[in-house]
């Protein structure tokens, strides 16, 4: 009797360990460089501790008209943050992987200084990003492509 219980406990532990490993492995599929809708910018998604973030690493609209001076985050509602450049600005913050999606995070739009609730999901090789206010019903979805240089 005790031998059967030990076997069942071992099977359950192995299953739990395997499930935890595969879930972590799946969660990291989002890590890399992504082209935003229209291909005008690249965002590098990375993992820090157990959360996921994304920073703007290149794009068509990062420089002033002189072509050398990096644009500042002038629309940020926090005046102390307006001195930061848009390049390397963290746009995606604090996502956690759960139920095959990255949720609980926010996305920042430097064009208008707004921050939205956000969730992300991989659809094949594409990343579906939904920014919203309040509930997901009131939002907008963008599809990002993995960068070929990643």
- The full DSSP string for 94-117 is EEEEETTEEEEEEEEETTTTEEEE
pLDDT tens digits, one per residue of 40-66: 999 999 999 999 999 999 998 899 999
Distance CA 138, CA 150 (A): 32
Task: Report the first-to-last Cα separation within the chain, whole angstroms.
Answer: 54
pLDDT, mean of residues 4-20 = 44
Phi then psi for 89, rounded to 5 degrees?
-70, 135
pLDDT, mean of residues 118-127 = 95
35 and 56, same domain (yes or no): yes
Say what the pLDDT of residue 145 is: 96
142 and 122, same domain (yes or no): yes
Of 17 and 41, the structure prediction assigns the larger pLDDT to 41
106 and 50, same domain (yes or no): yes
Residue 102's CATH number: 2.40.128.520
Cβ distance 7 to 14 under 8 Å?
Answer: no
113 and 55, same domain (yes or no): yes
61 and 108, same domain (yes or no): yes
Look up the pTM and report it.
0.80
Q: Which residue has the tokens 């995606």?
A: 92
Number of domains in the chain: 2
52 and 63, same domain (yes or no): yes
Of 2 and 51, the structure prediction assigns the larger pLDDT to 51
**Token pair in block for residue 40:** 């005008």
């Amino acid at each position: 009797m005790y031998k059967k219980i030990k076997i069942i406990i071992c099977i359950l532990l192995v299953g739990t360990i395997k499930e935890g490993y595969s879930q972590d492995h799946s969660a990291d599929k989002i890590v890399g460089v992504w082209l935003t809708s229209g291909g005008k910018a690249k965002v590098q998604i990375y993992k820090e501790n157990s959360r996921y973030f994304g920073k703007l690493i290149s794009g068509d609209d990062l420089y002033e008209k002189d072509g050398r001076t990096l644009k500042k985050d002038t629309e940020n509602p926090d005046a102390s943050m307006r001195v930061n450049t848009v390049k390397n600005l963290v746009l995606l913050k604090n996502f956690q992987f759960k139920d095959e999606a990255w949720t609980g995070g926010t996305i920042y739009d430097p064009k208008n200084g707004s921050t939205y609730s956000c969730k992300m999901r991989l659809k094949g090789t594409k990343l579906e990003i939904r920014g919203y206010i309040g509930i997901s019903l009131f939002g907008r979805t963008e599809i990002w492509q993995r960068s070929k240089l990643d």
